[in-house]
Structure 1
Amino acid sequence: MTETALLAYGDRQYTRAELDALTSGMATILEQRGVRTGDRVALMSSNRPEFVVAMQAIWRLGAAVVLLSTSWKRAEVDHALALTTPSHAVGDNPVLAEAMPMLDLDSPVTPGRREFDTPAPGSDALFVFSSGTTGMPKAVRHTHGGFAAAVAHWRAALGLTPNDRMQILTPPSHILGLLNIATAFDAGAWIRLHPRFDVETMLRHIEADRITIEMAVAPIALALAAHPRLEDYDLSSLRYVVWCATPVTRSVADEVTRRAGVTWVTAYGASELPVITCNVLDGAELDTVGRAVPGVRLRITSPETGEPVPIGDDGEIWVSSPSAMAGYLPDDATESAFVDGWYRTGDVGHLDADGWLRITDRSKEMIKVRGFQVAPAEIEAVLHGHSAVADCAVFGVPDPVSGEAIVAAVSRCGAVESDELTGLVADSLASYKRPSRVVFVEEIPRLPSGKVLRRVLKDRVMSDSAKSEAI
């Protein structure tokens, strides 16, 4: 009996046995290069089968994967490597190859057959990166047991079975892309990988591959709603589309439903805690992010006292879950993230009497662009490097495509134009960190302590913009 394919990429199909054989072969190569239990291995790869093979091979050797975004520039990669100190590297990206010796994923792998010890649940499995508000990205550390709990939660929330078919268009270095790949493999569901997002490719493969579950962040949802020939595609195989990473834009979701008949499900998670809530799969309440998945507890607390607030009142969202991160690197960033085992999300919202969670604001200053968290201080550090910048502050504003758009407010002490400053950021940081707008101000409002009054600045800039548009 011929084994059914489990993974597709372009015209190539892979069975589980073929992937296991390639994983054994890759593990042997890494072992020969010196990878041992407890090591950390940097992985910087596009979304391709070799990424999956490399990730599994690293884990089977008892090592941890340090996931680097392929959109990062050299300074960002250098920071991540200094923070996590990996001993080895694997990938398909020249930036990583320049930074340290790298096993190229295009190198041939001889399939093998090996047995491996199961990693201890408490051992490190994964480092992903999540920006804070005070500097460069922090490394989020997940153990094998914690990530396995996240996979179990996601599989149950999605009702995922071996009969499901998915395609992955989001980067595997982002927690959502990785979680989708790992959960599909755990459930025995069929998946197709794509190197990048393209709406025509996505729609064509929903129809041709009979995709049952589609993942969508805001740019994907907007592309669907704006597609001039959406009705021409047969999307009847879809059970639902999951809107992740940013709040649902109801008008966009409703337009896709009206034109294509597909239904939506919302979900909520973070790099530090991948699965928090998910909506019901039939008749989702799109103005909420759903209820806590089984095994996850929610608490809404007063920002001032940390005590629970009454049902219906806004407060900071705290979460307790076996899938919570084991901590940050640097370690000193971990203590403030937890209170008695509860993870402080930095999100503000409220629970109703039936357990539905609604998110209303952010208490942290990070900006969320297309699901990626961006630290204002990281961009500010680049802008301060320009001799004509006297002071600056960066903040996010609502954006229907990206969730939030980045605005840089700059006080000048010399001649410089906005294009030069956005270009400076683009040369130093990933493209999603580039300000969509630079505004020039007389001064940056600060407290006596030096802390930027971002909300005051944001309100001032937004008000000035509204006046200009009115004129």
Structure 2
Amino acid sequence: MTIPALLATRRRLDGAVQAFVSDDEEITFAELDDASRTLAGRLVGAGVTKGSRVGLVMPNGIGWATAALAVMRVGAVLVPLSTLLRPPELLAQLRAAAVTQLVVVPRLRGRDHLDELASAAPGLTEHARRGRPHPDLPSPRWIWTSDEWTSDELPAGAAPAPLVEALGRAVRPADDLAVLFTSGSRDTPKGVLHTHGNGLRAVASSLDSRRIGRGERLYIPMPFFWTGGFGGGLLSALVAGATLLTEAVPEPARTLRFLERERVTLFRGWPDQAARLAAHPAFATTDLSTLRPASLGAVLPPAARPGPGARANLFGMTETFGPYCGSRLDTDLPAGKHGSCGRPFTGVEVRIADPETGTVLPPGTEGEILLRGPNVMRGIAGRHRADVFDADGFYPTADRGLLDADGYLWYRGRLDDMFKVRGATVYPMEVEAALRALPGVTDAYVTDAYVTAAQVTDVSTGPGAAGAAGAAGAAGAAGAVGAREVAAVVVASSLDDPDELAEQARANLSSFKIPTRWLIVRAPHRVPRLASGKVDIDALRRLLVEEGTAGSRKVRSR
């Protein structure tokens, strides 16, 4: 239950096995152990030691994995940072995590991260390279580029091997492993603290449900700086003895060639990532016959794809280091459990409570999901434990759900996502599920949008616009200057008529829940996201108000 012990185990059991394959590089578990030990010695010589917080701004690859393991094997704390962060966001996370050493890729996707940092905090790089605190960001003592990090340009020689080994033996399961940043669509980012013990325990608890074992060749397109890539990919491969296939910058045609060449057996990630590959013209001629049934359905042969809701929706969060609830992904759920998240994994206790009073609710009653157990985070950077956990040690997640009598968890959305339209309560997740079940719809994202009186009264009286017209009337009667609508961005390959979608949705939704403002897009990347990968609700609203149209008007496909 520590990284140095895990590396030793993998070397002993699977030393000659490929640990990672990245683009045109590969490394075995023994080579990874050697490379991370060598780099660890150089980092210790440069001042990294137990408790140091080392930030990484790097793309996926063997270099990222080697650097991360070098940091963690000597008891330093890894702080994975998104390559998508803009300078003010990056500076905020450096402050929140109290990063002491920072490694930055020189250039990536046309961006120079060091130049951007210098423009946001003049003099930061010079101060850090001299080991001096900066007035606006006092924690960083060193800033290196990823090229310098692995070259002979570190500011000191390597520490002796016996010291590196001694630091590894001193790492305990209770020691901090990483600070992982997460945020809801409306929250400021928070740094979640995980220990070696709770992080690796959480990874191990989900392996059986995710069907990851020794010999698996796992592809996850998620970046390592997110929990899905770090815990679900890199550490899952280490714990299971599987081979991880990864790319610095995934691109559909290249990815398909990569997966065919490397004989991928398991494709996990977000459904839209698999759908994007399946929609590529080269997909039909790509040999993915080695894929196993626990892979995402879009990349499987049609006959092997599970029905809607038949497989568990693996459910988790950064605070639990990935999924904490699920069921085997190669097996359909029992009758009556389709659409559920499965059962909580060993190491997590789930409680449903009234969000207002904290009263524990009986099975079958919807409330806030609370979590407790050895797989759950140690805490949140900068927050007192009493501000994070309740008096019984449970973490209030702000997720809505229920546990049925058989212990299956049913997720109902976020407490803060609920909104009211003309006095009626709308839960976006319920509407999204209904829209995603419609023929031709790949994905859907629902929120509330406040539109002006001019925008509201521009709505015609067709069936897709009845709700908005009613809202306009109510707004006018009350003398309001606008109204709140149910709004949806729908990803669809061929549909372009919101009235058709609205009419089909009426079979499963009450009239007040049917969107009255629509934007139909062809590509998933049109859905705005935060640097954390989550949907940017504020940007989604702006997009819907600025580009969306109401019912009975054709929507230009984008």
TM range (shorter): 0.7 to 0.9
1:121 aligned to 169, 173, 198, which one?
A: 173
1:327-370 per-position Cα deviation (integer Å, ceiling 9, x unaligned): 1122158624445121222111122222222211211359xxxx
In the alignment, which residue of structure 2 is the partner of 1:451?
none
In the alignment, which residue of structure 1 is the partner of 2:72?
59
Match of 2:113, as an amino acid?
V
Q: Is the 8 A contact 1:122 1:145 kept in 2?
A: yes
In the alignment, which residue of structure 1 is the partner of 2:86?
73
In the alignment, which residue of structure 2 is the partner of 1:272?
319
After TM superposition, list the pairs within 5 Å mapping 1:42-53 onto structure 2. Answer: 42-53=55-66
In the alignment, which residue of structure 1 is the partner of 2:514?
none
CA 1:13–1:439 in 2, change beyond 3 Å: closer, same or farther?
A: closer
Partner secondary structure for residue 435 of structure 1: helix
Q: Is the 8 A contact 1:316 1:347 kept in 2?
A: yes
Identity of aligned residues (%): 28
Partner secondary structure for residue 185 of structure 1: helix
Q: Give 1:19 deviation, angstroms.
A: 1.3
In the alignment, which residue of structure 2 is the partner of 1:423?
none
Q: Is the 8 A contact 2:256 2:282 kept in 1?
A: no
Q: Is the 8 A contact 1:168 1:181 kept in 2?
A: no
Match of 1:158, as an amino acid?
R
CA 1:213–1:364 in 2, change beyond 3 Å: closer, same or farther?
A: same
2:397 aligned to 345, 360, 384, which one?
A: 345
Larger RCO (alpha carbons 8 Å, 6+ apart): 1
In the alignment, which residue of structure 2 is the partner of 1:261?
304
Q: Is the 8 A contact 1:91 1:103 kept in 2?
A: yes
Partner secondary structure for residue 402 of structure 2: strand
Q: In structure 2, how many angstroms separate the alpha carbons of the residues matched to 1:237 and 1:272?
A: 33
Partner secondary structure for residue 52 of structure 1: helix
Match of 2:22, as an amino acid?
Y
Q: In structure 1, how many angstroms separate the alpha carbons of the residues matched to 2:403 and 2:207?
A: 24
In the alignment, which residue of structure 1 is the partner of 2:212?
160
Q: Which moved more, 1:337-346 or 1:5-14?
A: 337-346
2:15 aligned with 1:15 = no
Residue ranges of structure 2 left out of the alignment (5+ in a row):
1-13, 107-111, 118-123, 129-142, 153-157, 419-427, 437-441, 453-527
2:268 aligned with 1:215 = yes
Q: Give 1:109 deviation, angstroms.
A: 5.0
After TM superposition, list the pairs within 5 Å mapping 1:76-155 onto structure 2. Answer: 76-93=89-106, 94-95=112-113, 98=117, 100=125, 101=128, 102-107=143-148, 108-109=150-151, 115=165, 116-131=168-183, 136-155=188-207
CA 1:133–1:9 in 2, change beyond 3 Å: closer, same or farther?
A: closer
1:170 aligned to 222, 228, 231, which one?
A: 222
Residue ranges of structure 1 left out of the alignment (5+ in a row):
244-252, 367-394, 412-425, 442-460
1:164-221 per-position Cα deviation (integer Å, ceiling 9, x unaligned): 1112311111111001211111211111111133333343333332222211213213
Q: Give 1:314 deviation, angstroms.
A: 1.4
After TM superposition, list the pairs within 5 Å mapping 1:413-432 onto structure 2. Answer: none
In the alignment, which residue of structure 2 is the partner of 1:197?
250
1:300-350 per-position Cα deviation (integer Å, ceiling 9, x unaligned): 222233223232221111122212111112215862444512122211112
User: How well do the aligned residues superpose, as a CA RMSD in angstroms?
Assistant: 3.7
Q: In structure 2, how many angstroms separate the alpha carbons of the residues matched to 1:106 and 1:405?
A: 43
In the alignment, which residue of structure 1 is the partner of 2:240?
187
Q: Give 1:291 deviation, angstroms.
A: 1.3
Partner secondary structure for residue 302 of structure 2: helix
1:308 aligned to 352, 357, 360, which one?
A: 360
Q: Which moved more, 1:402-411 or 1:343-352?
A: 402-411
1:4 aligned to 17, 20, 23, which one?
A: 17
Match of 1:288, as an amino acid?
S
In the alignment, which residue of structure 2 is the partner of 1:418?
none
Q: In structure 1, how many angstroms separate the alpha carbons of the residues matched to 2:315 and 2:401?
A: 12
Q: In structure 2, how many angstroms separate the alpha carbons of the residues matched to 1:25 and 1:362?
A: 45
Q: In structure 1, how many angstroms separate the alpha carbons of the residues matched to 2:544 and 2:200?
A: 48
Q: In structure 1, how many angstroms separate the alpha carbons of the residues matched to 2:60 and 2:257?
A: 18
1:49-83 per-position Cα deviation (integer Å, ceiling 9, x unaligned): 11111111111221101111100000001101111
Partner secondary structure for residue 141 of structure 1: strand
Partner secondary structure for residue 13 of structure 1: strand
Partner secondary structure for residue 38 of structure 2: helix
TM-score by length of 2: 0.63
CA 1:104–1:151 in 2, change beyond 3 Å: closer, same or farther?
A: same
Q: In structure 2, how many angstroms separate the alpha carbons of the residues matched to 1:61 and 1:195?
A: 26
1:355-398 per-position Cα deviation (integer Å, ceiling 9, x unaligned): 222211211359xxxxxxxxxxxxxxxxxxxxxxxxxxxx9995
Equivalenced residues, count: 399
Q: In structure 2, how many angstroms separate the alpha carbons of the residues matched to 1:36 and 1:435?
A: 41
In the alignment, which residue of structure 1 is the partner of 2:542?
438
CA 1:50–1:440 in 2, change beyond 3 Å: closer, same or farther?
A: closer
CA 1:85–1:436 in 2, change beyond 3 Å: closer, same or farther?
A: same
1:247-266 per-position Cα deviation (integer Å, ceiling 9, x unaligned): xxxxxx5x665636345653
In the alignment, which residue of structure 2 is the partner of 1:239?
292
**Which structure's CA Rg is the greater one?**
2
Q: In structure 2, how many angstroms separate the alpha carbons of the residues matched to 1:139 and 1:318?
A: 19
Match of 2:262, as an amino acid?
D
Q: Which moved more, 1:43-52 or 1:90-99?
A: 90-99
Q: Is the 8 A contact 1:27 1:60 kept in 2?
A: yes
Q: Which moved more, 1:294-303 or 1:34-43?
A: 294-303
2:341 aligned with 1:289 = yes
